[in-house]
Amino acid sequence: MTEARLDRGQGLALWRQIAGTLERDITSGLRLAGDKLPTEAALSAQFNVNRHTVRRALEALSARGLVRVEQGRGSFVAEDVLDYPLGGRTRFSETIRRQNREPQGRIIQLQEIQADSQVAEALGLKRGRAVVRVIRLGLADGRPILVGTHHFPLPRFNLLGEHLRQDPSITAGLSACGVPDYRRRVTRVTARMPTPEEAGLLEQSRTRPVLASEAINTDAKGEPVDFTLCCYAAGRVQIVVEGGA
């Protein structure tokens, strides 16, 4: 970090000087997107000021979008916000690569369950029918950006779990099960607070909202193949609605 030297004369306010020092650390690349900043106590000691002065500096950087402050977790260098299009043909890996990021998927849970009324209606099944539920974490450059809970009807996709254990790509898994292409029929987007599990997976505070979506994907014949409940880390993703979404 830049050496902590403050002008304590009649010039610039101390909090502004601290904010300027931290900003130089960020813009020079000394601190990278996603890096956690020192605690308020550590910064207070470094600059020999009280916590209120440090807090005001961090609030100023947060207001400018350079820093994100998460209650209970600390302050972080803000990441560039990803555009995540919701169109008729949305593919996670393609979306991330188009923005020069490296996509990664991680299967968190894979199990057979009985469809509740919401899942059954979305997939055109009777309530209680067996489906495969897959909870998948999507990352960009190693940073989690979404948690997707997918539901696939059985017995049509009884081999999907086997494929996903080898390759966490939903698109590849569906292709291996005879669905080489699929399209999004409908999407609903809302904002809400995350569950403790979602906050943990997304590495964000429970007090920070997420963007939540419901989507039904269909095959070439219009048959539902996937009902997805997804939540996005709102501080890292902005939803872009494309034609046909």
Q: Give the model's confidence band at 243: pLDDT under 50 very low, under 70 low, under 90 confident, else very high.
A: low
Mean pLDDT of the chain: 89
14-77: CATH topology: Arc Repressor Mutant, subunit A (1.10.10)
Is pLDDT above 80 for 9? no
The domains spanning 14-77 and 82-241 adopt the same CATH topology: no
What are the tokens at 8? 């304590």
Is pLDDT above 90 for 82? no
Is pLDDT above 90 for 66? no
8 A C-beta contact, residue 57 and residue 18: yes
Q: What mean pLDDT is predicted for residues 148-163? A: 97
Question: Which residue blocks in 8-153 are alpha helix, DSSP H?
Answer: 14-27, 40-47, 51-63, 92-98, 117-123
Q: What mean pLDDT is predicted for residues 203-224? A: 90
Q: Can the peptide bond before residue 155 be classed as cis, meaning omega within 30 degrees of 0?
A: yes
pLDDT at residue number 6: 85
Question: May I ask the CATH class of domain 82-241?
Answer: alpha beta
What are the residues whose beta carbons fall under 8 Å from the beta carbon of 207, sequence distance 6 or more?
Answer: 70, 71, 72, 193
Is pLDDT above 90 for 51? yes
Domain ranges of the chain: 14-77, 82-241
